[in-house]
Amino acid sequence: MKKPFLFTRMALFLSLSCVLNACSYYFNTAPNPAVARRVEARLVTNEGLKPESLTKTPPESVDQALPKFSERRAKIERSLTLEKPESPTKPKAGTEDSKPLTIAEARALGLENNLDLQIARIDPKIAATQVGEEEAKFDDMIFAKAKYANKNTPALNMDVVTFTPVDPSSSLKNQAAKLTAIPQDTETLELEAGVVIPLRTGGKVTLSVPFDEKKQFKGVPSDQYLSALRFSISQPLLRDAGIDNNVAGIRIARYEQEAVNLRTRLQAIRVLAAIDRAYWGLYVAWGELDVRRQQYENAADNLAMVKKRVAEGLTAAVETNRAEIGVAERMESLIVAETTLKLRQRQLKLLLNDSKLDMASLTVVVPQTQPTMVKFEFDREQLARQALEGRLELLELELKLAADLTKVEYLRNQTLPLFMLDYSYSSLGRDTTSFGGAFNQTLDGDYSDWSIGMRMEYQVSNDLRRSRLERAVQERIQRLSTKQLREMTVRREIYDALDQLSQNWQRILAARQNVVLAGLNYDAELKQFREGLRTMTEVLETLTRLGEAQLREVRSIGDYQISLVDLAFATGTILGHSHVNMGSLANTASKTNLPD
């Protein structure tokens, strides 16, 4: 006795499972699950490239790398012992209206105030409205209508008919007669309310309850009340049939929404990378200004020394003119450096868009973050793989390819003929006294009216729909080629960024040695000038070479920082741990940290 009960329970469980699966599939408008999971995982990933975690060897400082670099210059190494290099040139604030700013603070201000990012934040909201617009196509529609009419008609000639009585022996059999409608005064009231339910299978269900009232005031009284319960359904069988075809618009809109989210995240990364580049560009401008100021001060000190020696009769008077020429030349360079600093200031202020740092204000920004002065030996292939997985442009292309596939499948369905199955059923009711009586008869179901039918539509050539399908197929093939090209471009950008990084590190080492040697040479030339063995022109030449070496060192340090930023951007992230959260960019920006 227990087995039938067990079988019944199993059957009920399987039936319930099938119903639930069918319901979940019916309401499922989500994009491709694999692509959706990748997008979600990428959007919740904290942005930030840790260089030290991707190096094959421990990071190496300038002091550690200089001896290895010096092996390339064996002759100089044998003839000259290098002094311990000084720490990199640090920007100095020479004004009271200065604002010390770390790179983390600059990022936070940019995420909060940058106008490009504020514009990009609106795009996800617009994309969400497009999804809502597509989903609204399946909203149920409630309708209602009412109509009142009055007819006062004269007598009217009707049809000529013959009688066919039930009783064959009747005298009216085969008798001809002309019908005449007597004058009538008729009032009619028509009411109907119902709901139209669009189905995700492509069909449409209509449920309605009509009420009709008819009253006549002349002739034979014939008041009546009609009521009905109507159900009708129209379901396509080929074109526009199936859930996938009818929710294609929603899925494409969701793909576009995810793509917009990725583009917004990418815009945030671009803004942060631009802020980083502008920050280090400002750092270099401060360093150049310090070098130019030092050059001017040294030239002015030399001029004072020469004037003193000329007054003492130790040096020819022509040396005074030479020293003054050196001061004037360095004054020009100092003016250019000050203008360059102003331009770099405004560039960073534009990106930050902070009300306290207006571009017309006299407040100057002084970088406080020290540059990363260590060498990283990256695994090139690991970085390339990470870039292919993390670049938002490639993930956006995957979304577009998935949307293209959905579009192709939909347009392929549109090339089929239209076969429509129509079914209608009505339960009828009538009464001569009230609507209630008519409606009660409707509920009894004694009288009904139903119909079933099919209709077909097909264009003779169907060229329009076939052309749309072909265009969609070719666009997807084109996008596939674009993806392959983009992947190759990403790999090239990674390798280029790594080579630039290595080059700029070598430039730092070369410039550091050059600064040391040029400083020694300048001191020697100045000493020989005091002994009367050199002219001021020769001293100024060595001073110029020292200044150029110092400028190359400052620029190489700035270029190395920018190379790290470019490498991180090539992998699809930014340098350090920025924790960029598109849900609340401004709130999470304060969490930004950089490696020391």
- Encode pLDDT of 119-155 as tens digits: 888 999 999 999 999 999 999 999 999 999 998 888 8
Average pLDDT on 352-365 reads 85
The rounded percent of the chain whose pLDDT value lies above 90 is 31
Mean pLDDT of 570-590: 52
- What pLDDT was estimated at residue 55? 62
What does the pLDDT look like over 214-270, one tens digit per residue?
887 776 777 889 999 999 999 999 999 989 999 999 999 999 999 999 888 888 888
- In angstroms, the CA 302 to CA 298 distance is 6
What's the confidence (pLDDT) of residue 415?
Answer: 93
Residue 585: pLDDT band with limits 50, 70, 90: very low
Nearest to 449 by CA among 271, 164, 201, 227: 227
Q: Specify the pLDDT at position 303.
A: 81
Q: Evaluate if residue 80 carries a pLDDT over 90.
A: no
The region of weakest confidence among 16-25, 408-417, 477-486 is: 16-25
pLDDT score for 89: 42
Q: Quick check: 587 pLDDT over 70?
A: no
pLDDT score, position 75: 38
Amino acid at 595: P
Question: pLDDT per residue over 534-567, tens digit each?
Answer: 777 787 788 888 888 889 999 999 999 999 999 8
Q: What's the pLDDT at 63? A: 62
pLDDT in tens, 483-524: 889 889 989 999 999 999 999 999 998 988 888 888 888 788
Confidence of residue 95 (pLDDT cuts 50, 70, 90): very low
Contacts of 165 (CB under 8 A, 6+ apart): 172, 173
Instruction: Report the range of poorest mean pLDDT among 86-90, 254-258, 476-480, 570-574.
Output: 86-90
Mean pLDDT is highest, among 58-72, 100-114, 137-151, 308-322, for 137-151
Nearest-10 crossing angle of helices 318-352, 248-311: 160
Question: Residue 370 is encoded by which pair of tokens?
Answer: 């020290």
Return the closest-CA partner of residue 315 out of 530, 483, 488, 160: 530
254, exposed or middle or buried, with CB in 10 Å at 0-12, 13-18, 19+?
A: buried
Q: What pLDDT is attached to residue 580?
A: 44
User: Greater confidence, 146 or 381?
Assistant: 146
Tokens of 146: 């009412």
Within 93-237, where are the H helices?
A: 103-113, 115-135
**Please, what is the average pLDDT of the chain?**
80
Give the span between the Cα atoms of 225 and 189, in whole angstroms. 10
C-alpha to C-alpha distance for 182 and 28, rounded to whole angstroms: 62
Per the CATH hierarchy, to which homologous superfamily does domain 46-116+265-410+466-591 belong?
Outer membrane efflux proteins (OEP) (1.20.1600.10)
Q: Which of 94-103, 181-190, 192-201, 575-584 has the lowest mean pLDDT?
A: 575-584
> Domain spans of the chain?
46-116+265-410+466-591, 148-240+419-461
pLDDT given at position 594: 33
Comparing 4-13, 284-293, 343-352, the range with the smallest average pLDDT is 4-13
- Distance, in Å, from the CA atom of 98 to the CA atom of 77, rounded to the nearest integer, reads 43
Range with the poorest average pLDDT among 17-26, 154-163, 472-481:
17-26
Q: Is 202 left (phi over 0), alpha (psi -120 to 50) or beta?
A: left
Q: Which residue has the tokens 């666009």?
A: 475
Backbone torsions φ then ψ of 579, nearest 5 degrees: 50, 55
Who's near 340: CB < 8 A, 6+ residues apart? 285, 288, 289
pLDDT digits (tens, 9 = 90+) for 431-453: 888 888 888 888 888 899 999 99
